[in-house]
Structure 1
Amino acid sequence: MGKQWKQCQTLFFWGGYKITVDGDCSHKIKRRLLLGRKLMTNLDSILKSRDITLPTKVCLVKAMVFPVVMYGCESWTVKKAEH
């Protein structure tokens, strides 16, 4: 008749996302920080340039890096150790 379902500890989604039973989001946070670091490395030559003013560099970081790092942060469960 009915199928028996079993509860799993971790569920993996396409794109590398995973959901755990305890709501651990450390993997998402680490991944976003890694993407932000990679983007900052790509912007390194622009940020070190003397031809571009500091306010312009700040605007670049706010427009390009912050959204990448903070994407989905509304759904993160931040634990004391990560805070």
Structure 2
Amino acid sequence: MNPLSVGNSQSTQTLRLSWPDGREQQLNHAELRRQCPCSQCRAFRLCGSTPLVDDRVRVIELNPQGYGVQLIFSDGHQHGIYPWDYLANLTP
């Protein structure tokens, strides 16, 4: 399920998603970075660790990929493509 709209707010550090079922979702930039689905970040989490992420990190660019979105972060991380279903299941 693809969102109807995607917005990125630098001031509130949130990614805003509007879903077809009427649900509005706001996800914190730093938490998105911690939950990155790339293989390196997943490996950290599988070992019981959480990637160290500065709470001031921002999403500075969104690159649509059809089935999801690539998020470019202010700390230079850009390897994860976040599938729409993955984002829909993240809790704020």
If you compute each CA radius of gyration, which structure gives the higher value, 1 or 2? 1
Instruction: State whether TM-score is above 0.5.
Output: no
> Where is the helix percentage greater, Structure 1 or Structure 2?
1
The TM-score bracket by the shorter chain reads: under 0.3
Give the TM-score of the pair, scaled to structure 2: 0.23
Q: Which has the higher contact order (CA 8 A, sep 6+)?
A: 1
